[in-house]
Amino acid sequence: MWLGIAGLALLAACGSTGTNGNGSPSDSASGAGGPVGASAVTAENTPAAGNGTAAGGSTRRVVVLGTSLTAGLGLDPDDAYPALLQAKADSAGLPVTIVNAGLSGETSAGALRRAAWVLEQPAALVILEVGANDGLRGVDPDSTYANLVQLVETVRAQRPEAGIALVQMEAPSNLGRAYTRRFHEAYVRASKATAVPLWPFLLDGVAGVARLNQADGIHPNPQGSRRVAATMWTSMEPALRALPSP
């Protein structure tokens, strides 16, 4: 569970507006306040997010649609967890290209608006790391749930060939037990309603651990990012191995 003080620190420190990869403004929210963070890493400006193995056209594209946690805010691009996952996939001999489509400050509503643009190119697997900023802003969990369900439906409509995975996110504890419980359950409900697998909490073992986070107390540092990648890999590796051959 996110520590309340970390959530408050992030809201105070990262309130500027980002842009998406085509130059238009990033999400300006369903919920209070403006976007959290300012960097954007999208499918258009990081097509390979790894070692460039896509050049031969024989790899399958894995799109990670996410927030600043995916974009790697404050990190060297090679230390962002999608790049670390690319390295793991390469080492395992899996022919995939992991696309970092993270955008700082984005809420689940923003991800829903951006999804069609991100999915203009083919995808074999779409991983949804969305909603972290909903929790930081205190957005109604029912709204987050509805956006998650619609997001899955959008992916299925635009890329019916793609597998989909939803990553569990949590709300900061300063919003109270009732809210954090409802927020957690929004993901469980969305997973059940859409029959999409729910992967573990992205920041499991990292959230609230000072030595694994940057000064803002919420974005992982390089060591924390490695822990995030390890958590993600436990679910991603079997999903990648189950993909049809390119």
Give the active site residue among 39, 68, 108, 191.
68
The verdict on whether 134 is a catalytic residue reads no
Helices (H) and strands (E) in the chain, counts: 8, 6
Token readout for 67 is 């927030």
Residue 142 to residue 116: CA distance in whole angstroms: 23
Residue 62 to residue 11: CA distance in whole angstroms: 30
What value, to the nearest 5°, has the Cα angle with vertex 227 and ends 225 and 228? 65
Instruction: Give the position of tokens 């984005």.
Output: 106
DSSP assignment of 112-138: HHHHHHHTTS--SEEEEE--HHHHHHT
The verdict on whether 219 is a catalytic residue reads yes
The verdict on whether 90 is a catalytic residue reads no
Give the active site residue among 39, 104, 219, 225.
219
First to last CA, the chain: 38
Known catalytic residues? 68, 216, 219
